[in-house]
Structure 1
Amino acid sequence: MPVKPKFNIPGNLLSGDTTDIYFARTVEILAKENQNPETVMEVFTTRPGILCGLSEAVELLQAVLPAGEGEIWALEDGDQISAKEVVMRIKAPYLSFGLYETVYLGMLASGTGWATAARECVEAAGDIPVTSFGARHIHPLVAGRMDYAAMIGGCKGCSSIEGARLWGISPSGTIPHSLILVMGDTLKATLAFDKHMPPQVPRVALVDTFKDEVEESLRVAEAMGQRLDSVRLDTPFERGRVTADLVKEVRANLDMAGHNHVKIFVSGGLNPERIRYFAENNAPVDGYGTGSYISGARPIDFTADLHEIAGKAIAKRGRIPGLSQNPRLKKVR
């Protein structure tokens, strides 16, 4: 993972525009009452998962806590977490961070949900790399965060430019149906891609637009030779989707024609169950692209509770007062 991703926290988050109104009112009331005690806030999860959103939450808190004030202890993005585990502890005057509870909890909830879903796909794929194609299934303002979370979960690449920037890699992409449809021919579109794209961009031909996938794979492979990295199978539901038998047929025909170097990339409605189907049927897949299973993942809820005020242990009913023990927490501020 990147040494230190830079999320560039948007101004509307820093201003509190995305927070719950009762936190804004709480900060206003306490300020007018001249009450700003030092507090300890602990953040914990409600169910297991792959932690993500922590780096962004810390970046937010670093931006809002006054210079020389406040301490933060935290786990790291990518850590496997258990239910009720404290993932972050904040010690600071309440008014310096109280406005942002909604914000950092949301970062953690969405990020951890996405990362956990990605890990499920990656584990199903085994040694075969998985790429995140989910940006089109989510609001564009958070697409980069989603792709970052997918790679925290184990994906080897992502399609969005912003997600790749956060991870410090080049974005991954193939040839879309639109280019092929506009140009009127799969081979013509692939050759145009090869002509105009930098040599470091892999040549991955989409082969299900106009003709039989085997026929198109062979046409492109014959014309491109060693320049062709992969063919992508993305057969839609209306035509029965990509099957293990189709992958085997494409592989066999490419090999018989001497194109053993050409890899096969599969996409289209993939989830852990579908990925396991290909593995269990020994389909010679070289890479998977999955989208909405990751981007549409259920968030994993996080909760923030005060456990200490002005040095005194405290908690609401149902919680244990005082600091929770978690030796995995590391001081980051």
Structure 2
Amino acid sequence: MEEIKNLKDVKKFKVDSERPFYSANHDEIKAGLTTDIYFIKTMEILRHMGLSGKNVVAEVFPRKSGIMCGVEEVLSLLKDKNIEIYSLPEGESFEPKDTVMRIKGAYEEFGMFETVLLGMLAHSSAWATASRQCREAAGDKVYICFGARHVHPAVAPVMERAAVIGGANNASCILAAKLLGREPSGTIPHAAMLVAGDTVSVARIYDEIMPPDSPRIILVDTFRDEAEEAMAVAEALGRTLEGVRLDTPSERGGVTPELVNEVRKRLDQKGYNYVKIFVSGGLSPDRIRELSAAGADAFGVGSYISGASPIDMTLDLKMVDGTPIAKRGRIPGLIDNPKLRKMK
């Protein structure tokens, strides 16, 4: 697909009436079809004035603190452009108004992609930031991102990849994990128990047919009291049981510290002290700390990460043909950040 160059190209582009999904594909993103139309108009004006090739330096800054992510996608977006890119590496922290990315080159090389690159950084950095907060709450304990169900499938891998960059041990989304060179993490949902009608029988079959590297962690809140079901599963699987998962719905009060403590105590009393307790369901950093203190060993976090509000990123031109410049209210010239690294 050819890159959009002008308003005629925009008019010429037609959407296939048989298109199955509304999300942009990779070629459409690279072609500039997800940018704002006013950047195409800007290029038309500057080309008409003979100014589109002016050398500029653009800087990107955030409105609040966070963890940098989305850089790899920006580099892929601008891979074939004759420009230099300096950026914070993914996983690095930033403060409000820090320069997190700097782009040098002719404006026509990258100007129309402002919308696209800011969107890549804004959302990924937000997800990575929320994930880092969960990591700080969990300490050395494991937590997995379970957030794919809360976002459009087109961006689910982007979100869960960002979560791992931010500190999650792994992702449950297959494509996200594969993009990171990993195998996805996860066991089974309540649906398996509901269809089969019994937790213990499902646990036995899971242990029998799943590969050795698939952790034996079984949900114990489907039919009976969580402590009772945990004991039944532990008795059935013995030493092969690695953990039980508590995902009690809010209609039943959710997973509480008292519940975690009771399950832990009952397992220990029967000699199942090797069985870990994995908790999930509406977890936030505060709840992770609370449940960890009660005895939880690992966590599944979804909506706290996936629902993070984008970190507002702004791109400003700071130099034009070597002259410092800025819009009113901003300081002309470059704002240094020693954390910047040359990426391209």
TM-score (norm. length: structure 2): 0.89
From 257, 263, 274, give the equivalent of 1:261: 274
Query: Is 1:201 equivalent to 2:208 in the alignment?
Result: no
From 28, 32, 56, give the equivalent of 1:16: 32
**Amino acid paired to 1:192:** I
From 294, 309, 313, give the equivalent of 1:283: 294
Report the Cα distance in structure 2 between the residues aligned to 1:32 and 1:170, rounded to whole angstroms: 52
Query: Is 1:57 equivalent to 2:74 in the alignment?
Result: yes
**Contact persistence 1:254–1:262 (CA under 8 A):** yes
Shift of 1:174: 2.1
Report the Cα distance in structure 1 between the residues aligned to 2:279 and 2:150, rounded to whole angstroms: 18
Shift of 1:216: 1.3
Question: What is the 5 A alignment of 1:56-205?
Answer: 56-62=73-79, 64-65=80-81, 69-205=82-218
**Contact persistence 2:187–2:214 (CA under 8 A):** no
Shift of 1:192: 2.3
Shift of 1:300: 0.7
Moved more, 202-211 or 182-191: 182-191
Shift of 1:270: 0.7
Report the Cα distance in structure 2 between the residues aligned to 1:27 and 1:206, rounded to whole angstroms: 56
- Partner SS, residue 97 of structure 1: helix
- Partner SS, residue 90 of structure 2: coil
- What are the Cα deviations for residues 75-113 of structure 1, in whole angstroms up to 9, with x where unaligned? 111111011100111111111111110111011111111
Report the Cα distance in structure 1 between the residues aligned to 2:202 and 2:42, rounded to whole angstroms: 59
**Contact persistence 1:40–1:307 (CA under 8 A):** yes
From 57, 62, 65, give the equivalent of 1:48: 65
Residue 223 (structure 1) aligns with: 236
- Partner SS, residue 278 of structure 2: strand
**Amino acid paired to 1:52:** C
Shift of 1:73: 0.9
Query: Is 1:293 equivalent to 2:304 in the alignment?
Result: yes
**Amino acid paired to 1:45:** P
Residue 336 (structure 2) aligns with: 325
Report the Cα distance in structure 1 between the residues aligned to 2:291 and 2:267, rounded to whole angstroms: 19
Residue 22 (structure 2) aligns with: none
Report the Cα distance in structure 1 between the residues aligned to 2:208 and 2:109, rounded to whole angstroms: 55
- Partner SS, residue 78 of structure 2: helix
Residue 4 (structure 1) aligns with: none
**Amino acid paired to 2:94:** I
Segments ≥4 residues shifted beyond 4 Å: none
Residue 326 (structure 2) aligns with: 315
**Contact persistence 1:128–1:285 (CA under 8 A):** no
Report the Cα distance in structure 2 between the residues aligned to 1:176 and 1:14, rounded to whole angstroms: 37
**Amino acid paired to 1:142:** V
- Partner SS, residue 248 of structure 2: coil
**Contact persistence 1:55–1:76 (CA under 8 A):** no
Report the Cα distance in structure 2 between the residues aligned to 1:197 and 1:22, rounded to whole angstroms: 54
Shift of 1:177: 0.6
Residue 26 (structure 1) aligns with: 42
Shift of 1:135: 0.7
Residue 5 (structure 1) aligns with: none
Unaligned runs of 5+ in 2: 1-24
- Partner SS, residue 279 of structure 2: strand
TM-score (norm. length: structure 1): 0.92
Shift of 1:29: 2.9
**Amino acid paired to 1:188:** S
**Amino acid paired to 1:278:** L
Residue 7 (structure 2) aligns with: none
Shift of 1:303: 0.4
Percent identity for Structure 1 against Structure 2: 54
Report the Cα distance in structure 1 between the residues aligned to 2:239 and 2:107, rounded to whole angstroms: 62
Shift of 1:202: 0.6
Give the paired residue count: 319
Report the Cα distance in structure 1 between the residues aligned to 2:252 and 2:339, rounded to whole angstroms: 50
From 245, 269, 287, give the equivalent of 2:258: 245
Residue 55 (structure 2) aligns with: 38
Residue 9 (structure 2) aligns with: none
Unaligned runs of 5+ in 1: 1-8
Shift of 1:205: 0.3
**Contact persistence 1:16–1:24 (CA under 8 A):** no
Report the Cα distance in structure 1 between the residues aligned to 2:45 and 2:211, rounded to whole angstroms: 58
